[in-house]
């Protein structure tokens, strides 16, 4: 069964940077669209960034454009989220997600089949 194992996260001061990693165990991510979502208490899980399997195209939520970068290393079955210029509003639990192989997936939660365990990112002033 597919497993998404997240690492990274933690606490950082406003303006700082963090890298989140998500490694898919026992599966290749080559044909899977990968994404990052985040969830703040009392809010629903929201889309952050996507890395499409087809051509490596990326898309981002408007509130992270220019600050966050999603990338993948297919040889390591790992997807990354590089976050810079972090602000307190970015504080959330961040989740890695994988769509089914060759599936088209966008920004909706129900388009992703498998999820990581989540990792806390806390940005302080």
**16-41 pLDDT, tens per residue?**
999 999 999 988 999 999 999 999 98
CA separation for the pair 125, 121 (Å, rounded): 13
For all residues of the chain together, what is the average pLDDT?
95
Q: What percent of the chain has pLDDT over 70?
A: 100
Residues in the chain: 125
Count the helix, strand and coil residues of the chain and give each as a percent rounded to the nearest 5: 10, 50, 40
**Residue 41 pLDDT:** 87
- Comparing 26 with 96, the larger pLDDT belongs to 96
Using alpha carbons, list the distances in angstroms from residue 18 to 15, 25, 93, 95, 100.
10, 23, 13, 14, 28
**Residue 27 pLDDT:** 83
Residue 58 and residue 51 in contact, taking contact as beta carbons nearer than 8 Å: yes
Each residue's pLDDT tens digit, 40-73 = 989 999 999 999 998 889 999 999 999 999 999 9
Binned at pLDDT 50, 70 and 90, residue 77 comes out as very high
**Structure letter (DSSP) for residue 97:** E
Using alpha carbons, list the distances in angstroms from residue 41 to 44, 92, 93, 97, 100.
8, 8, 9, 19, 28
CA separation for the pair 36, 19 (Å, rounded): 12
């Amino acid at each position: 069964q597919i497993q998404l194992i997240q690492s990274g996260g933690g606490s950082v001061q406003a303006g700082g940077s963090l890298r989140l990693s998500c490694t898919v165990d026992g599966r290749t991510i080559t044909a899977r669209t990968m994404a990052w979502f985040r969830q703040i208490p009392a809010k629903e899980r929201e889309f952050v960034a996507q890395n499409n399997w087809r051509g490596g195209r990326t898309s981002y939520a408007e509130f992270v454009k220019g600050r966050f970068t999603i990338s993948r290393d297919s040889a390591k079955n790992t997807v990354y989220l590089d976050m810079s210029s972090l602000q307190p509003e970015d504080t959330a639990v961040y989740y890695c997600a994988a769509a089914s192989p060759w599936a088209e997936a966008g920004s909706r939660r129900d388009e992703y089949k498998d999820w990581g365990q989540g990792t806390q990112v806390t940005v302080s002033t």
